[in-house]
Structure 1
Amino acid sequence: MAAPCRHVGHHIQKNGRFLRININQLFACRSFGLTSALQQQATDLHKESKEAIVIPRKKSWNKEAVLEALASTVQRDPTAYPYQFQDDSYLSPRTSIEFKLFSLSQESGRAAAKYFVNSNPKLFTKDFAEPHIPCLMPESVALRLEEVSQEALEERISLRKVSAAVEMYDQLLQSGTAVSMETTHKLLDLICLYCDRDPVQEGTPQTEDREEEEEEDRRRKPMGRQAMDFLKCTWKENNNAERIFNLLPERDARCYSALIRGMVKHGAYAKAFNLYEDLLNNRLSADVHIFNALISAVPDVRKKNNERWDLIAELLNQMNEQKVRPNLLTFNSVLKALRQCSFLAKTFSPQILNEMKALGIAPSLATYEHILTVFFYKSASSGPSNMAILQDVLMELEGTSFTCQDPNDVLFFATAMKLCLDNKDLELGYKVHSLVEVGENWRLLGDSYQQALYYGRFFNLLCLMEHIDVVLKWYSRIVPSLLYPNPQGMKNLLQALDTDSRLDLLPTIWKDIKSLGHDNKVDLVEELLSLMARDEHSAEVQESFAACALDVKSVFGERPKKEWSTSSLSHISILLLRANKLQKAWDMLQLFKDKNRVPSGALLSSFLTACRCSASPQRAVELVQLSAAFSLPTTPELAKRTLAEFELNDKQRSIVSEFEAAPEKEE
């Protein structure tokens, strides 16, 4: 009787799913003499377990889940080039110049391919991709609706055909067809966004008129590309946006918002404020986008710092009166404008940050970047108190994963690392980098230029403050997968090697200098040669130094336009002498003559010592003659040493004796 009861009790102690299966067995055990209390306990346990059972809903996985899971198991290969350059190993950039050229070429090819696909969509109708990737499919850019209708206007707006949309709008007005306010809003947004011009499609070849316009701009006044683009997109008086706005029988805040934001975006700051005054006169309330645009334009309409802050405060008060809730971009616009208010910025920026937190608006990375820029505006203002601000920011952000909420978010990490470098604060530098490695924060490093800026500053900080073993560890991790060091970065690495007495690694660093394309930087190469020639080392190290010096000589020999300096020739000669490569060192003396460079007396004295060690009296005589040819003041001393230290025949002794006496100075 006990065995069946134990069997049932065992299942009672199991999970709820087993209780459902064995409940019949439980009641069947009455014949075996189970007490009513045990039966009641089992029944209650079953009810409790039944209530605790939660049937999970079906888990839906996205189509990229498997790829994401596989990607999470793969670590970055520090020895590999960036992913976007791995299509062809032969074309993978090995220098910073090649990196820039490859990036531009890749972007140009991508734009040309996109233009071809969008211009010929009928040739690309089949999609074999799984999962479907919409951005790789041809866009619908051809107009399908030709009749005059609001649907045709909306089609032109969706395809960003500015001129065609304006033309269709005018035709609708001429035909007496009313256009809905929603469609009018979209049209004004389109015109103001592109400053009443059709956007340039990627890969579109320039027309002759556009080329002539650019050439005329170049002839009028030479300027940078950004300045030229800015002038071409300047807001013009009475453009189509203003004309359509003035034709509207009724104008709401959305219409004003489109024009005000367009005016601010394209440089008509004063006009934007005038239009805002018109909005208030019509008893309308502005939206948050209007205030954001006007706040960002404050530094361009006011010259004095106190006037700028007064206008910002006035706009914020008007937001409060109109019951417009500010958003993140509002406060970021205020902080960005405060950066141009000099000493007032340090006073009011903490108040702005506290106001954000009081409203429950979480700051973004751009917010903290503005704060840091305000307090570190001048290098002279850097100090322990200001570095405490950076430390507080990093403590608040520690372990946080970010998403981009402001275009200026990508500036934070480079700015923070610059402050660490300027103040030589290695601990905070590590904290900044640990924040970059949280989640996908590395995506907020920005484009390739911003990324190179960040890692370049981090590497320079390591070279200045960290032990050489740690520096080399980081060097192998980020070069070339994340950073192509510039010449100054390689100089800092050489100085770090010198500080920790690891000059034996200089030949290895020279190979990296060549692979990075910096072997044509004369000052960097001279720094390398100077460090190798400064002190004497073991025979093995001197042999590697001599091989490195000969490699430098061959590289410079391939570039006839590169001028040899006297110091470079001297350093190579000394390195060859220390490695007992007398013949190759003697060839360097011939190079002195060919390049019209004068060797130093100390170098010739080293040559004479090498001649004595190799028992070469004839070379010693030639050395004295060479010194006399250069009219060096050390010639008599060299002649005396030669007569005393070498066994010369009568002819050699006669030649050297002529230079033994010091030449008389001409009056």
Structure 2
Amino acid sequence: MFLSRRFQFINKLTKNRYINSISNVSMQKTDATANNEEIEVPNRIHRSSTDILYALASTVGRDPTAPHYKYHDDPFLIPVSNMSKRTYAMAQESGRKAAKWIREQHRELFLHQEAQPAIEEFVPKMVFNEESVINNTTLNDLILRSQVTDAVFVYNIMKEKNIEITTELKQSLLELICFYNNVEPLPEEFIEERWFKQNNETRDRSRKTWKDGDLAEQIFNEIEPKTTSTYAAIIRGMAKYYQVERAYAMFEQALEKQIDLDTTTFNAILGVTNFLKETADQRWELCRQVLQQMATLQIKPNLGTMNSLLECLTTFGNYKFARSCALQVLAEFKLLNIRPSLGTYYYILTIFCRDRSPVSHVIVDILNEIQDKEFSIEHHKDTYFFVTAMDVCRNHLHDKSIARKVDALLHTGNNYNLIGDSFKESVYYRHYFALLCQTEPVEEFMQTYDKLVPNIYIPEPGVMEELLKAVELNAAIELVPRLWSDMIIFDHLGRESLINRILNIMVSNKPDISIPIQEQLPQQFAKVALDIYNKIQETQGRAKKISFTGQMIGDILTLTVRGDDFESASQIFTNIDKNQHRIPGTPSETSLLEFVNSCITHKSPSQAIVCLQYTVENNMNAVAMAKQIHNGFTLNEVHLSKIKSLVGDSYLSD
């Protein structure tokens, strides 16, 4: 209803503007006729079918408090942990894949047409067999749709049936197979699976995966005469899948035959020079030779050439040599009026800001150059810039102000589209949060925390531990109950270091109940401690469990005592006493003394004497506790004899 009213308003507004413009044009025409002036009608601006949606979206902006559009807008279906985010997104894509499988397996149920003209995506894919009627047109359609498996199958059937295949069609098939390495690509609609697959592929990005002797090489040998496109396809394919030695051999063969290769093919060779030579000097010399060949053949370099050279320089162990060469490359390409992309700046940061190299502030010069500019994808490494820049701000410079500038650039225009996949986005905010947590007052940091968590970013356990350290350093103990609640939601309960950290903060920073903001903290801390106790109890018997330590369970006992929850404290101490041979370590003497004081307050001498017995059995100082019990209770003969049997008469002396 809201949208329909808004569109009615826009239509009415557009109509009124049109009438006014007609009236203005008529008046201008009358005036122009009187003054013999020419009327200039502006050119028509082409508008796409979605321009009005972009215009409406620009008036709203991004809402950081709302979940991503890919999740259902239901509180019970919105993920609040990194694992559930990926699980929910992949589950949604699994549903699409299941629907697609049903459509392919039961194609007879989907023969009706949903729209006129028909939408190809709604139609089941054709199934080919040896009896199918095929021709060059069939193969060409499959190539245009990037259906690698079906295209290869149809090609083989055409070969068996001696159907003539044109050279142009063989060339197109060769390019398709070389680009995908004869592997069916993942459909474009499966974005989440594509992102997850890319994260796994980065681990094996330097491993040779080219299929030697496969169909690509067979088609290459069949094509005669071999053209620039033929050599370009096979060289790029081999270089892309790291069959680098044969790619370079093909490259030299093409040059010997005086075949004019294009710039992209030269870029592919430049991108793998680090695999062809061992030392930095040899690699740089090979790059110079390739560039000289380009100059001799009058092949104009482009952005890919510059980025391929810089990619090679990132592999140089000698950082001084790498920096010197990088500056030469940037100067040369600046003379050629080739503008860097974000991928170029990513390589520059990788070269200048290494772990064991001198500190470089090159990122400051980069940000001064590109500040307030909007970028689009020009190179496949453009999406690596922001995550690398934030890594440099945190680990190389440890500078909050520069990190703020990087984040401002990310949110300029549509630059957020270059954040990359969900994994890079998570790493970016991991560095950003950790840096702000270490350099900002905790009150200012929590403003950023409130804005981004949990819909944009969910802190990993390491970041949460940094936040707890900041809370402890700033004595902002009023944040502990909220952070514990977030730790439960974010599924961080399996981290023993986090549990020990939050217990230590609550025990070491005793709330001042005279301060209004801390008045309810003792009871809240007791609830948190009891919650921790119950969560650990629930994990017993599981494969991944957290075991109590003496210090941990002693802190829980202390907090329940301070929160005036004597019943829970008694249960916890009973667990300590019964399982003292299973629990490594012992609670501190301070924890046990506070429990005895609570026993005195709640008039429970039997519990206090059991605590005294536990102290004696674990070789702790029991005299002070015995004095405390003797002075706090009116004891009968049974209790006095028990105390005497444990510690003797020494507790009666001053």
Q: TM-score range by the shorter chain?
A: 0.7 to 0.9
8 A Cα contact 1:264 1:297, kept in partner: yes
Shift of 1:556: 2.2
Shift of 1:619: 3.9
Match of 2:645 in 1: 658
Distance 1:285 1:439 in 2: 41
Instruction: Choose which of 543, 549, 566 in structure 1 pairs with 2:550.
Output: 566
Distance 1:634 1:501 in 2: 32
8 A Cα contact 2:134 2:154, kept in partner: no
Q: 1:502 to 1:98 in 2, by over 3 A?
A: same
Match of 2:16 in 1: none
8 A Cα contact 1:468 1:497, kept in partner: yes
Match of 1:592 in 2: 576
Distance 1:442 1:355 in 2: 30
User: Which stretches in structure 1 are left out of the alignment for 5+ residues?
Assistant: 1-13, 25-42, 205-223
Q: Are 2:91 and 1:105 equivalent residues in the alignment?
A: yes
Deviations 1:243-270 (A, max 9, x none): 3333333111111111111111223211
Distance 2:474 2:578 in 1: 38
Shift of 1:568: 1.8
Shift of 1:438: 0.6
SS in 2 for 1:272: helix
8 A Cα contact 1:636 1:659, kept in partner: no
Q: 1:600 to 1:127 in 2, by over 3 A?
A: same
Q: Are 2:59 and 1:73 equivalent residues in the alignment?
A: yes
Q: 1:315 to 1:118 in 2, by over 3 A?
A: farther
Q: 1:276 to 1:472 in 2, by over 3 A?
A: same
Task: Between 292-301 and 137-146, report the one with greater CA deviation.
Answer: 137-146
1:53-132 to 2 correspondences below 5 Å:
53-86=39-72, 89-117=75-103, 120=107, 123=110, 126-127=113-114
Instruction: Choose which of 456, 459, 462 in structure 1 pairs with 2:436.
Output: 462
Task: Between 528-537 and 608-617, report the one with greater CA deviation.
Answer: 608-617
Q: Are 2:211 and 1:235 equivalent residues in the alignment?
A: yes
1:196-215 to 2 correspondences below 5 Å:
196=182
Match of 1:364 in 2: 341
Shift of 1:92: 2.2
Identity over aligned pairs, percent: 27
Distance 2:221 2:61 in 1: 59
Distance 1:479 1:501 in 2: 22
Match of 2:193 in 1: none
- Residue identity matched to 2:86: K
Task: Between 419-428 and 604-613, report the one with greater CA deviation.
Answer: 604-613
Distance 1:662 1:188 in 2: 97
Q: 1:456 to 1:138 in 2, by over 3 A?
A: farther
Instruction: Choose which of 345, 349, 371 in structure 1 pairs with 2:326.
Output: 349
Q: Are 2:591 and 1:603 equivalent residues in the alignment?
A: yes
Q: Are 2:527 and 1:550 equivalent residues in the alignment?
A: no
Q: 1:411 to 1:573 in 2, by over 3 A?
A: same
Shift of 1:305: 1.4
Q: 1:19 to 1:325 in 2, by over 3 A?
A: closer
In angstroms, what is the RMSD of aligned CA positions? 3.2
Deviations 1:207-236 (A, max 9, x none): xxxxxxxxxxxxxxxxx8888999894331
- Residue identity matched to 1:568: M
Q: 1:505 to 1:75 in 2, by over 3 A?
A: same
- Residue identity matched to 1:69: A
Distance 2:219 2:32 in 1: 79
Q: Which structure would you say has the larger Rg?
A: 1
The number of equivalent residue pairs is: 597
Match of 2:14 in 1: none
Distance 1:414 1:126 in 2: 46
TM (normalized to structure 2)?
0.83
SS in 2 for 1:407: coil
Match of 2:620 in 1: 633
8 A Cα contact 1:413 1:445, kept in partner: yes
1:140-155 to 2 correspondences below 5 Å:
141-142=126-127, 149-155=135-141
Match of 2:153 in 1: 164
Shift of 1:202: 8.8
Q: 1:425 to 1:108 in 2, by over 3 A?
A: same
Shift of 1:294: 0.8
- Residue identity matched to 2:172: K
8 A Cα contact 2:231 2:254, kept in partner: yes
1:397-546 to 2 correspondences below 5 Å:
397-422=370-395, 423-539=397-513, 540=519, 541-546=521-526
- Residue identity matched to 1:321: T
Instruction: Choose which of 629, 632, 636 in structure 2 pairs with 1:649.
Output: 636
Task: Between 420-429 and 337-346, report the one with greater CA deviation.
Answer: 337-346
- Residue identity matched to 2:223: L
Shift of 1:168: 5.5
Shift of 1:288: 0.9
Distance 2:347 2:206 in 1: 24
Distance 1:133 1:465 in 2: 59
Q: 1:635 to 1:184 in 2, by over 3 A?
A: same
- Residue identity matched to 1:468: V
Distance 2:25 2:418 in 1: 48
TM (normalized to structure 1)?
0.82
